């Protein structure tokens, strides 16, 4: 028991004491729980959902599936992959959720997880060097350290749409989908948003609805998924790839996908050679067309324009109506291709050839209000039974700033980050001692294969905590100088790319009032992981330990 003070200034005599508190039961949280528990730490994990899985617990909307290959979207430990098989190259949500259940059972994780509990307040006590934590269920605790595993897509964003509360039909955000599902058969449906979840929902429901109206702000530059069903031979081939080092290849890759560019520059080869490379990656499916053609596509505007032109012509050939072609794949790109999060699609563009589907460009015809029976734009009124909000997330930082987290001198994290988020290596925040962040800002985060970062970043945190225990340290805090220097380095790297030329959630541009910055580190996984190793080898240089 602890006799310290909680976040509201009350005695916490009844609060249970833990060595480490973990928040979030996705890949990062489960890795922390298993690893720290095996090293003898007293650990508690708190999860707002009713089960493990993180985003894959919440995202149960129609068509939800991976756009990373299942072969590497799992833990790299042999005892966790050797007896597990996904049935598809890009597994659907139910298979991914089943994988989490498999890991949970195999490692007996749930016994140390408190489900259906949302952390609401955390406050650091500089006298005891501990965190006092409150939850929405009334459960409180104290922990020497906190590891924030809230993920980069855990806070759904619902825009302020006038009249939204008046809609009389069913309305759901894709990230807050009802677990018993929705019956779309024969219904009139509207989808607002054409990001990843929008693309997946639209593909899935368009064959069964009475009519579908899609409200698009920016066309999605989606790439062919190249989906495959796996038979026994294909599953065996996946196992051979895993045993031969595919997980390490992903860790060594620049962008979390184990493909490397086939050429250095799209400008240095002939048109036929360039198109041959584009065609090869296009036909392979997955993110190869984004990350595996030429090394300069994401740095050079002319090279990027060539990739866009190839993509545009491929898409326009699949869409019958010229006006629809201009909406989905305009002749001139709105932003550099690949600088807004690309999606993978299976028949997305063919959907718009269906007579029951219409597309509204809300740049030209903005939404004015939601009505009890539908929606009104500046030019027309629409009626529908179901409204799907595929409006995305407050990415990378939203899961953290939605919690009342107070560091030294009672400073509130969301206030500290109001003009821009800063975190040393993505792990540590000055003024918030004994708190680590996985997938934090200025880490590879959304540019990383999730399980890869969960393991490599996670191992760094676990080793750090074990080192501190062995050396008798009770407190660790990023220095302001190291934090600011790393944030500036991340900004400098970002400015060398084309990412800064798009208003994307990667840049925080989808959230009104959010500071515009590239939230994830664009310098590549190898450089980032090497820097982490270097910092640890130098006695956690850039952190103050006491």
Domains within the chain, CATH numbers bracketed: 16-52+109-155+394-545 (3.50.50.60)
pLDDT above 90: residue 326: yes
pLDDT digits (tens, 9 = 90+) for 456-502: 999 999 999 999 999 999 999 999 999 999 999 999 999 999 999 99
CA-based torsion, 527, 471, 431, 407: positive or negative: positive
Whether 249 has a pLDDT exceeding 60, the answer reads yes
Q: Is 155 left (phi over 0), alpha (psi -120 to 50) or beta?
A: beta
Is residue 375 within 8 Å of residue 369, measured between CB atoms? yes
Q: In 126-169, which ranges are E strands?
A: 130-135, 140-148
pLDDT-based confidence at 15, cuts 50/70/90? confident
How far, in Å, CA of 493 to CA of 495, rounded? 5
Average pLDDT over all residues of the chain: 96
Question: For residue 1, is pLDDT > 50?
Answer: no
Q: Give dist(CA 290, CA 304) in Å, integer.
A: 10
Asked if residues 338 and 306 have their Cβ atoms less than 8 Å apart, the reply is: no
| Predicted confidence (pLDDT) per residue in 427-437, tens digit | 999 999 999 99
Write the pLDDT tens digit of every residue in 190-211: 999 999 999 999 999 999 999 9
What CA–CA distance (Å, rounded) separates 162 from 180? 28
- What would the mean pLDDT of 174-185 be, rounded to a whole number? 96
**Which pLDDT score, from 0 to 100, does residue 7 have?**
45
Mean pLDDT of 299-320: 98
- Residue 414 burial by Cβ neighbours in a 10 Å radius (0-12, 13-18, 19+): middle
Tell whether the model's pLDDT for residue 13 goes beyond 70: no
- Mean pLDDT for the stretch of residues 13-32: 93
Q: Which residues lie below 8 Å from residue 351, measured CB to CB, with a gap of 6+? A: 202, 203, 206, 212, 357
Give yes or no for a contact between 162 and 370, defined as CB atoms under 8 angstroms apart.
Answer: yes
């Amino acid at each position: 028991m602890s006799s310290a003070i909680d976040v509201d200034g009350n005695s916490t005599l009844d609060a249970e004491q833990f060595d480490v508190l973990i928040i979030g039961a996705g890949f990062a949280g489960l890795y922390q729980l298993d690893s720290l528990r095996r090293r003898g730490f007293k650990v508690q994990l708190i999860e707002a959902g009713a089960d493990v899985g993180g985003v894959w617990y919440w995202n149960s909307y129609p068509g939800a599936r991976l756009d990373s290959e299942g072969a590497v979207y799992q833990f790299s430990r042999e005892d966790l992959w050797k007896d597990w098989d996904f049935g598809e190259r890009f597994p659907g949500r139910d298979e991914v959720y089943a994988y989490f259940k498999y890991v949970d059972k195999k490692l007996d994780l749930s016994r140390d997880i408190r489900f259906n509990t949302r952390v609401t307040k955390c406050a650091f006590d500089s006298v005891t060097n501990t965190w006092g934590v409150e939850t929405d269920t009334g459960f409180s605790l104290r922990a020497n350290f906190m590891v924030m595993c809230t993920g980069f897509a855990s806070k759904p964003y619902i825009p302020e749409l006038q009249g939204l509360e008046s809609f009389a039909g069913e309305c759901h955000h894709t990230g807050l989908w009802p677990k018993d599902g929705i019956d779309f058969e024969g219904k009139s449906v509207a989808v607002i948003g054409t990001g990843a979840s929008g693309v997946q929902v639209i593909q899935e429901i368009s064959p069964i609805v009475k009519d579908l109206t899609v409200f698009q702000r920016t066309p999605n530059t989606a790439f062919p998924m190249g989906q495959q069903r796996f038979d026994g031979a294909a599953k065996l081939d996946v196992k051979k790839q895993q045993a031969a080092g595919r997980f390490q290849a992903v860790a060594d890759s620049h962008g979390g996908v184990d493909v490397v560019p086939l050429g250095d520059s799209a400008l240095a080869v002939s048109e036929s050679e360039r198109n041959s490379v584009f065609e090869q990656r296009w036909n392979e499916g997955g993110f190869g067309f984004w990350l595996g053609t030429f090394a300069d596509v994401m740095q050079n505007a002319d090279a990027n324009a060539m990739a866009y032109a190839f993509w545009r012509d491929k898409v326009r050939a699949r869409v019958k109506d010229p006006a629809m072609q201009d909406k989905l794949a305009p002749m001139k790109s709105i932003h550099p291709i690949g600088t807004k999060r690309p999606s993978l699609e299976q028949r997305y563009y063919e959907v718009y050839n269906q007579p029951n589907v219409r597309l509204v460009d809300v740049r030209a015809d903005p939404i004015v209000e939601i009505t009890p029976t539908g929606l009104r734009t500046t030019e027309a009124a629409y009626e529908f039974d179901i409204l799907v909000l595929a409006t995305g997330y407050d990415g990378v930082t939203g899961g953290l700033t939605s919690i009342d987290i107070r560091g030294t001198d009672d400073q509130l994290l969301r206030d500290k980050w109001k003009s821009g988020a800063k975190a040393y290596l993505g792990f540590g925040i000055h003024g918030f001692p004994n708190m680590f962040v996985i997938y934090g800002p200025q880490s590879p985060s959304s540019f990383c294969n999730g399980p890869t970062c969960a393991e490599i970043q996670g191992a760094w945190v676990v080793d750090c905590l074990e080192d501190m225990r062995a050396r008798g340290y009770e407190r660790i805090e990023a220095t302001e100088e190291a934090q600011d220097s790393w944030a500036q380095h991340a900004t400098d790297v970002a400015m060398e790319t084309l990412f800064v030329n798009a208003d994307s959630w990667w840049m925080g541009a989808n959230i009104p009032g959010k500071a515009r910055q590239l939230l994830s580190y664009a310098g590549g996984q190898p450089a980032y992981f090497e820097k982490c190793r270097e910092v640890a080898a130098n006695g956690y240089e850039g952190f103050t330990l006491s």
